[in-house]
Structure 1
Amino acid sequence: MPPQPPRRSHPTGRAGLSAALALAVLLAACSRPPDETPDTAQGDVSEARAPVVTIGEDQEVPVWRAPDVEVDAENIAGLKQQAAEALEAGELFGSDDDAIPLYMALQQQAPTDAEVSAGLDHALEALLARGELALADVDADPAQLRSAHEIAAVARTVAPADPRVAAWLGRLDLVDQAQQASLRGERALNDGQIGEDGKKDGAIAYFREALAIRPHDARATQGLAAAESGLIRRAEIAAGKDDYTEADMWLEKAASVRPQLDTVAQARTRIARMRGARVSSLRDEGIVALAHEGGIDTAREHLATLLRIAPAADPAAIELRERIELASHYGLFRPGQAFTEALRQGGRGPELVVIPHGAFRMGADAREAGSSDAERPTRNVRFDRGLAVARHEVTVGEFRRFVTATAYRTRADRRGYSTVYDERSGNLVRRNGVDWRSDYAGAPAGDHLPVVHVSAKDAQAYAQWLSDQTGQHYRLPSEAEFEYMLRAGSPGPFPWGAGGPPEDAGNFTGALDESPSGRHWRNAFADYGDGAWGPARVGSYAANAYGLHDLSGNVSEWVADCWHSNYRRAPSDGKAWINPGCQERVVRGGSWASSPQQTRSAWRLGSDVDTTNARVGFRVVREI
C-alpha cells in the first residue's frame, strides 16, 4: 500500500468555511448597494463573487463547489483511507481533505469503484443526518438554518437527483417558508402593523401563515406572543389615559391572538387593578379638594372623570357624589351631625346640630285659625345650604361665660330692671335688680335654664363673641330659618301638625299646668300638662325631627330680622330682612306663657330691640 498522505490542517475547516461565507456576504454587502445589479457594481467585485443561494431576505450562502483534489494511481489508495477516516471522524466537507471532497475526486478518477461509491453514499447519509439535526435545532438556535443551507449547498452538488436529497430539501424549504413569513411578520410588527383586524399584511397574519406551514415554529410562536403583547400594551396605554373602553377593545383583539393561553386574562386583572387604583385615587383627590376653597368644582371634575372610567354603580363614584352633594349643602358636615367648637379662651361653645337644606312654605293662609295678616302672603322659601343650629336655647351658664370673658353689661343690667312674672297677680311686671342672672320670677337662675331678660342687641353681642372665639360665623337665625327649623317638615298650623300637642312635646301653656300658688292658665291647650310653670331646664322635652329642643315652647326667641308688618317684598332666599338702624326686631316661637294661638308655627311678633322680659331668650346658628 503506498504511503498515505498526511492529514493537513486547513484554515478553511467548518469554522473557517463559516467565516469565509460570512466574509463573502460582508463583501457583497460592502461592494453593492441593494439597488445595484452586478452589471452596475463598481470594479470587479461582482465578478469575483462566488454564486450564492439566498436563505432569506437577510442572508445568503454561496453555492458549494468541491475543492480540487489531485488523484492518481499512486495516491488513490491513500486517499481512500484518508476519506474513510474523515467520514469516521465526521469531517464531511469543510476542506479538501474531508470525506465528501475526497470521495467525489476519487469517483471522478474511478467511477466504477464500489468502495468509493459506497463511501460517498455513506457520506451523503451522514450529511443529510447532520442536516436533519440542524433543522431540528432551528427553533432553539436560529443560526442552525444557515448551517442547514450550507449542508443543502453540498447535497445539491453531491447528488442533486437523489430522492433523499430532494425529500430533505423539501423539508428545508418548509422551514425557509416559515422563516420568511415570520420575518415579514417581525418587520410588520416593527412598523406597528400588528394586523389585529385580520389584515393580510399584518404581523398576526404572517405569523399564522408561518405556523400553518410549520406548526409549533418557535419564531412564529414568539412573534404571535409579541403581537399579543403589542395589543396588550395598547390597552395599557389607553388605560393610562383613562380610556378603559378603548383598553377593553384592545384586550378583546389581543384575546383572539392566542385564545388558548391566559395572558390576556392576566392583563385584564392588571388593568382592572390599575382601574381600581385610579378610581380610588380620583375619589380621594375629590374628597381632599372639598376641604379647600373652591374645591367643589375641582371635586366635580374628578367625579366626571370617575364616572367615565368606573364601572356602573361603583361605590367610589357613589361616595364622591354623595360627598360633593354634602359639601355643596353642608361643607364638611353631614345633616344630623352634632358638634361643638373650642373657644379660644378655653372651653367649648354650645352644642350645634346640622339641619338639612330644603324648602318649605312660610306663613299662614287666611283659613288658619288665629292667623293674622302679618303672617302673609305665604311664600315658598328654599335653602340651598344646611345650617348648624344650637340644639337648645342659650343657657344662663353659657351666657355667664361670655359676660365673664368680656365684662359685657346687658341692657337690663345697665338700666337696672326687667319684666318678670308676678305670682301674686299672675301678670308680667317690671322689677328692679333683674337681669340675665335672674329667672322668670326674678330669683337667681340655674345655669341650665334658658337665659332670659336679654335684648336683641345682647343676643347679637353673644353671637359675635362666639364668632371671635371660634373664627366661624355665628349669628341669630333669620325669621325664615327659624320657622323652617321649627316646622321641621310639618306643614300644619303647629309644629306637631294639628290639634293639641302630644305628650312631652314641650313647655307650653297646658290646662293641666299649675303655678306654685295653684294658678292655672285661662287660655291653654286642653288636657295637656308639661310639669313646669316658667322656663324649664333646656332639653327637658322631646326634640323635633331635626334634633332641636324647645323651638315652639319654653321661651320665645329673638331672630335677626327687623319687624315688617307682612311678607311683601321679603327676601326670597330666606335671609334676614334687615333695614339699617331699625328699632324693632322679630320674636318667634311660643313660650311657657304663650297662648295656643301664639304657639303656632307661623306666629310672629315685633318687639323693641331693647326689650327684656321673662319670656324671651335666643339661640344661635352657625353658617357652614
Structure 2
Amino acid sequence: MRIHAGLVLLLSILLASCGGKETAPPSTEAEARLRRGLVSISADESPMYSLDWRVPQVVVDAGALPDALARAEAALDEGRLYEDAASAIPLYMAILKVAPGNETAIQGLEDARTALHQRGNEVLESSEADGVNLALAHEIAAVARVVAPAAPETLEYLTRVDAADRLQALLEHGENELAAGNLGETGIGAATAFREVLRNRPNDARAMQGLAAVESQMIGRAEDAIGVDQFNRAILWLDAAAKLRPDTPVAVDEARRRMKLRREARVARLYANVLQRLEKPGEFGALKAAQADIEQMQAIAVPGEPRIRHAQETLTRATLYGRHRPGERFADALISGGEGPALVVVPHGEFMMGAPEDELDSSKAEWPQHKVRFARGFAMARTETTVGEFGRFVAATGHRTRAERRGYSVVYDERSGNFVLRNDITWRNDYVGRPANPDLPVLHVDASDAEAYAAWLSEESGHPYRLPHEAEFEYALRAGKQTRFPWGIGIPPRGGGNLTGSLDRSPGGRRWGNAFVGYGDGYWGPAPVSRGRANAFGLQGMAGNVGEWTMDCWHQGYRRAPADGGAWFNPGCRSRVVRGGTWSSAPSQARSAWRMSQAHDITNARTGIRVVREI
C-alpha cells in the first residue's frame, strides 16, 4: 500500500490527540514511519491526488466574442464550470486571451471561480458513507490553482483539501489497523485514528462506522475472556470499549450484564463445590480440591466477595476440625440404636508438655518439658465412660473383660484403708465391690477392654474412636493453662474435682493422710461422671475421679517423645501410661504433668476409660 501524502502531518495529529505521549511501541512499519516523520511524498508526486489540470483547448475568434460570451454565460448558469471546452472557465479564459480587458469575461470568470470554490466547499463539507469525495475535491483544487493560484480563497481551499487528505489518511490508517487487530486500547491504533477524524469532522459516517467496529471487536474480546473466566481482563476491554461511544452505551452495558451473570454463576458454582467437598472433608483429595476451588473464586470474583471469606473459614475449620467447630458438643448415632458418648471438640493448638525441673514434686518421668503442637483438633468424651455405656457394649458384643476371665480385681477395703484383691469383681462393681450405678465411671477394666470398647464405637458409628494419646490427655487436662495443677495453684476451687481433701470422710469415718488441706468434694470413692464443673475445654472429671488409660507405652521421660501429639507406642509393650488424678490421689499426683506407669492387664478401682474420636 502506498502512503498518502497527507500522512506527513498524521503523527502530529495523533500525538496531539494522545496528549503528546507515546503509550505503546509502533505496531506497523507505516506507524513507525509516521512517528519518525519520514513520509515525504508531496501532493504533486502522488498520482492518486494530482493537482494538475490542463485547460481544455478552446478557439475563440475576435469576431465571435458575443457568441463565446453567451456560451460561457450559459455554461455558468448550468453549472458546467471546467469539465470540457464548452465549460464556463475554459471559455472565459480563451475569451480573455483574445480580449484581455473584456469586463464581461473578467466578471464571468470571477463568478465561475466563486462557483468553483462554493462547489469545492460543498464537497469538503459533505460526508458520504465512504467519506469525503476527495477525487472531486482535488479536481476542483487543481482547477482553482490554475485559475488563481495566489488568491486567498484558493490558498484557503487548498489548505482545507490538505486537511481532508490527512483525515482520509487517518481513516485508511484506522481501517488498516482494525483489519490487523490493532484496536487502539493503547498506543496509536484504530480507535485513536477514528476518534481524531470525528474530532475534526464529527459526523463522518465512515469514522463512526469504524469506531462502532472497534467497539464490537473490543466487546468480542471481552466475551472471549469471559468465556474462560478471565473477568478482570474482560473488564479492561469493556472499559476501553465504553470510552469509544459514551453516548451509545447499550452494547457495552449489555456485555457487562452478561459478564456479571456469568461471573455470579461461576462464583456460586465454585462456592457450592467448596461446601459440598467439605461436607466430607476426610475423603481423599477433598481439602485440596476445595482449596483449588477457593483459589479460582479469588481469581474471578469481585474484590471483597464475602463467600470467599466464608469458604476460607470453612476450609480452615474442615482442615482442623472436619465437619465440626472447636468447643462443639455432639454425639454419634450408633447402628444398634441410640447415641455414643457425649463428645466435645478440643481446639487445635500447642502447649508445653511435662513439668519444669524446678516444679515441686516433679520427677524425671516428667522431664524434659517440651513443646507439642496439634495440627488438628480432636473430639474427646466429655466424661469418663460410664457403667451404663460400657454395659451396652458388653450386651451388644458379649465381650468378657480381663477381670471376668481372671475372676478378680483390686478394690478399696474400708476396714484396712488399703487396696486389696477380691474375687468376683467385674466392671459391674464399684470401687468397694458393690453393684455399680449406671452413672458411675466404669472400673475394673484393663487396656485391652478399653480398646475393645473404642473399636466397638468405631464400628457402630462409622467414625474412628480410640484411647487418648498421652499428649492429648495432658493438653485437654491443662485446657490452656501451664500451671502446676490444672486449675492453677493452691487447693482446688469448689467443684474443681473429686480429689483427696482434708474435709472428706469415708463411710467408716476415715480421713486422708495426705490431702488438700481445707478441701472437700463430698465423695469417698468415684463420683457420678456428671458431677463437678467442666474445664475451659468443656471436659469434666479430667482433674480427678478416676485415672484413664492412654494409648502410649510407658517411657521413663520425654527424650525423643513425639512433638506432634501422636502416641508414643511400641507394639507389644506391657506397660501403659495412665493419666489424670483420682479420687484417692495425693496432691502431688493431681498435678497437670503427673503420669503413672501401669501394666496393660491391671484392673482396679482407680482406673477407667475416656475415649477420643478423630475428626
TM-score > 0.5, shorter chain as reference: yes
Cα drift, residue 371 of structure 1: 1.9
2: CA distance between counterparts of 1:578 and 1:198? Answer: 71
In the TM superposition, what is the alpha-carbon distance from 1:306 to its structure 2 partner?
4.6
The equivalent residue for 1:226 is 213
Deviations 1:281-333 (CA, angstroms, capped at 9, x unpaired): 54544454453312333334444455555666654443343334333333333
- Deviation, 1:220, is 1.8
Show the counterpart of 1:562. 553
Contact 1:232 1:267 in 2 (8 A): no
The letter for the 1-side match of 2:286 is G
Secondary structure, counterpart of 1:321 in structure 2: helix
**Deviations 1:474-528, CA, capped at 9 Å, x for gaps:** 1111212211111122111111121111222222222233333444333222222
Quick check: 1:211 aligned with 2:198? yes
Give me the identity figure in percent. 50
1:366 aligns to what?
Answer: 357
Match of 2:182 among 189, 193, 200: 193
In the other structure, the counterpart of 1:432 is 423
Cα pair 1:228 1:257 within 8 Å, conserved: no
Please state if 1:620 is matched with 2:607: no
Counterpart CA distance in 2 for 1:142 and 1:130 is 19
Q: Which residue of 1 aligns with 2:518?
A: 527
Name the stretch that deviates more: 203-212 or 461-470.
203-212
Q: Distance in 2 between matches of 1:344 and 1:287?
A: 27
1:491 match: 482
- Specify the alignment match of 2:329 in structure 1: 338
Q: Distance in 2 between matches of 1:444 and 1:266?
A: 81
Give the whole-Å Cα distance in 2 for the aligned partners of 1:502 and 1:268: 69
The one-letter code matched in structure 1 to 2:186 is D
What is the identity, as a one-letter code, of the residue corresponding to 1:196? E
Amino acid of the residue matched to residue 184 of structure 2? G
Q: Distance in 2 between matches of 1:322 and 1:545?
A: 23
Give the deviation of 1:178 after TM superposition: 5.5
CA contact (8 A) 2:498 2:582 kept: yes
Task: Output one character per residue of 1:448-489: Cα deviation in whole Å (capped at 9) or x when no partner.
Answer: 221112111110110111122223221111212211111122
- The correspondence of residues 294-333 of structure 1 with structure 2, limited to 5 A, is 294-307=285-298, 314-333=305-324
Q: Which amino acid in structure 1 is aligned with residue 179 of structure 2?
A: N
Partner of 1:585: 576
Contact 1:500 1:528 (C-alpha < 8 Å) held by counterparts: yes
Question: Deviation at 1:232?
Answer: 4.8
Q: Write the letter of the residue equivalent to 2:334.
A: L
Q: Structure 2 vs 1, CA of residues 289 and 178 (structure 1 numbering), >3 Å: closer, same or farther?
A: same
By how many angstroms is 1:602 displaced? Answer: 1.2
TM-aligned CA distance change 1:480 to 1:209, over 3 Å:
closer
* 2:610 aligned partner, one-letter code: R
d(CA) in 1 for partners of 2:216 and 2:499? 79
The answer for unaligned runs of 5 or more in structure 2 is: 1-46, 50-77, 81-85, 87-116
Instruction: Report the CA distance shift for 1:152/1:619 in structure 2 as closer, same or farther (over 3 A).
Output: same
> Matches of residues 420-499 of structure 1 in structure 2 within 5 Å?
420-499=411-490
Which residue type is aligned with residue 176 of structure 2?
R
Structure 1 equivalent of residue 528 of structure 2? 537
Structure 1 pair 556/151, CA: closer, same or farther in 2 (3 Å)? closer
For the Cα contact (< 8 Å) 1:174–1:214, is it kept in 2? no
Distance 1:233 1:514 in 2: 89
The amino acid of 2:365's aligned partner reads: A
CA contact (8 A) 2:402 2:449 kept: yes
Change in Cα spacing, 1:225 to 1:437, as seen in structure 2 (3 Å) is same
Gaps of 5+ in 1: 1-52, 56-86, 93-100, 102-127
Distance (Å, rounded) in 1 between the aligned partners of 2:264 and 2:208: 33
CA contact (8 A) 2:129 2:205 kept: no
Question: Which residue is equivalent to 1:550?
Answer: 541
Kindly tell me: are residues 176 and 619 of structure 1, through their superposed partners in 2, closer, same or farther at Cα, counting changes over 3 Å? same
Deviations 1:188-216 (A, max 9, x none): 212112223342xx212321232134223
TM-score, scaled relative to structure 2: 0.70
Conservation of the 8 A alpha-carbon contact between 2:226 and 2:259: no
Output the amino acid matched with 2:586. Answer: S
**Corresponding residue for residue 129 of structure 2:** 142
Distance 1:564 1:196, change over 3 A: closer
| 2: CA distance, partners of 1:377 / 1:145 | 95
How many residues in Structure 1 have an aligned counterpart in Structure 2? 555
- The correspondence of residues 9-408 of structure 1 with structure 2, limited to 5 A, is 142=129, 181-199=170-188, 202-235=189-222, 237-238=224-225, 246=233, 250=237, 254=240, 257-258=243-244, 260-261=246-247, 263=249, 266=253, 270=257, 273=260, 278-279=266-267, 281-290=269-278, 291=281, 292-307=283-298, 314-408=305-399
Match of 1:507 in 2: 498
Alpha-carbon shift at residue 588 of structure 1 (Å): 0.8
Aligned equivalents of 1:360 and 1:305: distance in 2? 36
Aligned residues of 2:274 and 2:293 also touching (Cα < 8 A): yes
Shift, 1:408, TM fit:
0.8
8 A Cα contact 1:275 1:310, kept in partner: yes
Distance 2:216 2:491 in 1: 78
State the SS of the aligned residue for 2:317: helix
Structure 1 residues 142 and 258: alpha-carbon distance in aligned structure 2, compared to 1, 3 A threshold: closer
Q: How far is 1:620 from its partner?
A: 0.8
Contact 1:135 1:144 in 2 (8 A): no
